[in-house]
Amino acid sequence: MKLMSDKPESKIPAPERLLNLSVYLLERKRPASLREIFSEVEGYDPSKDHDSNRRMFIRDRETLRGLDIETLMEKTTDPATGAETEGYRIDPADFYMERVTFSDAEVEALSRLGARLGKTGAAPLRELEWAVAKAISSGGRRSAAGSFVETVLLNFEPGEDSAKVEAVQTAISERRGLEIKYRAPGTQKGSSRGVDPYGLFLRRGQWYVVGKCHLRGGARMFRLDRLEIEGGALSAARHFDIPANFSLEEYVKRRAPWEFGDERPADVSIRFHPDFFWQARNAWGDLDSVSFDENSRTMRLRSVNEQALFGWLLGFAAGAELLSPRPARERFAAVLKKIIENAG
């Protein structure tokens, strides 16, 4: 139990004052005048002058706004003087989550989602378990964790990049540029550049950032593990807008590894052994940019990332042959020679 006389009021820590203020304004039916707030909410000091309390209140209101809690200012009557004055309250409709009634199947589906995806460690999903728990409890239900059989599991293993993921997420949401050092594929030394991040995505165990590159101009894609964020996180000076026609969905939709990159496009033709042709189609048969010819068991594609294309092809060993273009065919043969040398 806490009594007003337990400790001097000036010593009441700010978090306690802010909490007291929030629940006080939330419970008010009628907006509270400043005089009422200062005399009733623990943490303000009614013995201090009105102006210094008022300054503290203005700061508190700003802090709460930063925490997504909006205090409404409305006219009210000062009960002491009867005069009209500014009053404050928090609207419960803004503050609380609406009641949602879920079916048993929905509670189970949500619980699965929270239990399985919330622990993947992917930074943007960090709040998922809370979101699920809150949603379920808003209808007075408890989550059904542990009481179901899991038949589909998603495991992203997003590696050590979560601090960088968060920094990029912040930069995107605040529309502030990043200064980065980027180590392009095949190079050891990184080059510094400014990037305005438009989007962030996870593919095949790797995070990628899409954004405007101030070194090269235009939208570019960067693999997160190849970049370092320089000088803290956000560029102090550069604010940007994401172009209205930018769509991450369009940008990352259905792309093969050889389509992520900035090399000169090369039209590539590959012939497969019968045991591998359907495997290639299993993997990329849904892409509009790829075509398959059943009779000749060939696949045609356009590559802007030769290393990724070679990686994919190498996995087939003698099951796939790069037919054209000739320079790529020669480079691929050289890679095979190098592998043989390494193994020798």
Token pair listed for 86: 């500014």
- Closest approach, Cβ 263 to other proteins, in A, equals 15
- In eight-state DSSP terms, residue 232 is E
Q: Which of residues 14-43 bind other proteins (CB under 8 A)?
A: 14-16, 18-20, 22-24, 26-27, 40-42
Query: Closer CB to other proteins, residue 84 or residue 185?
Result: 185
Give the whole-angstrom CA distance, residue 20 versus residue 97.
20
Q: Which of residues 140-199 bind other proteins (CB under 8 A)?
A: 149-157, 159-160, 163-164, 167, 169, 172-173, 185-186, 197-199
Q: Specify the amino acid at residue 334.
A: A
Among 54, 85, 238, 248, binds other proteins (CB under 8 A): 248
Among 284, 297, 299, 303, binds other proteins (CB under 8 A): 284
Q: Which stretch binds other proteins (CB under 8 A): 49-57, 71-79, 214-222, 271-279?
A: 271-279
Give residues with Cβ within 8 angstroms of 216, minimum separation 6.
193
197 beta partners:
211
Token pair listed for 78: 């000062």
Among residues 128, 103, 104, the alpha carbon closest in space to that of 115 is found at 128
Query: Closer CB to other proteins, residue 130 or residue 296?
Result: 130
> By rule CB under 8 A, what string of x and - marks binding of each residue 193-232 to other proteins?
----xxxxxxxxxx------------------x---x--x
Q: Cis bond leading into 325, ω under 30°?
A: yes
Residue 281 binds other proteins (CB under 8 A): yes
Give the whole-angstrom CA distance, residue 236 versus residue 219.
21
- Closest approach, Cβ 166 to other proteins, in A, equals 9
Residue 244 binds other proteins (CB under 8 A): no
Among 69, 219, 266, 304, binds other proteins (CB under 8 A): 69
Q: Which of residues 107-126 bind other proteins (CB under 8 A)?
A: 107-110, 112-113, 116-118, 122, 124-126
Q: Specify the amino acid at residue 196.
A: D
Query: Closer CB to other proteins, residue 7 or residue 84?
Result: 7
- Closest approach, Cβ 295 to other proteins, in A, equals 19
Among 52, 81, 137, 324, binds other proteins (CB under 8 A): 137
- Closest approach, Cβ 189 to other proteins, in A, equals 13
Token pair listed for 168: 């990029």
Triad 33, 69, 16: Cα angle to 5°: 70
Token pair listed for 149: 């059989």
Size of the site for other proteins (CB under 8 A): 132
Q: Which of residues 290-329 bind other proteins (CB under 8 A)?
A: 307, 310-312, 314-318, 321, 329
Give the whole-angstrom CA distance, residue 285 versus residue 290.
7
Residue 340 binds other proteins (CB under 8 A): yes
Q: Is 246 exposed, middle or buried (0-12, 13-18, 19+ CB in 10 A)?
A: middle
> By rule CB under 8 A, what string of x and - marks binding of each residue 71-90 to other proteins?
--------------------
- Closest approach, Cβ 287 to other proteins, in A, equals 8
The CA-atom distances, in angstroms, between 102 and each of 106, 108, 143 are 6, 10, 11
CB 328 within 8 A of CB 266: yes
Give the whole-angstrom CA distance, residue 143 versus residue 137.
8
User: Hunting for tokens 């964790």 — which residue is that?
Assistant: 145
Among 83, 237, 244, 343, binds other proteins (CB under 8 A): 343
- Closest approach, Cβ 52 to other proteins, in A, equals 18
Cα torsion 127, 130, 136, 139: sign: negative
Token pair listed for 269: 């033709």
Query: Closer CB to other proteins, residue 73 or residue 84?
Result: 73
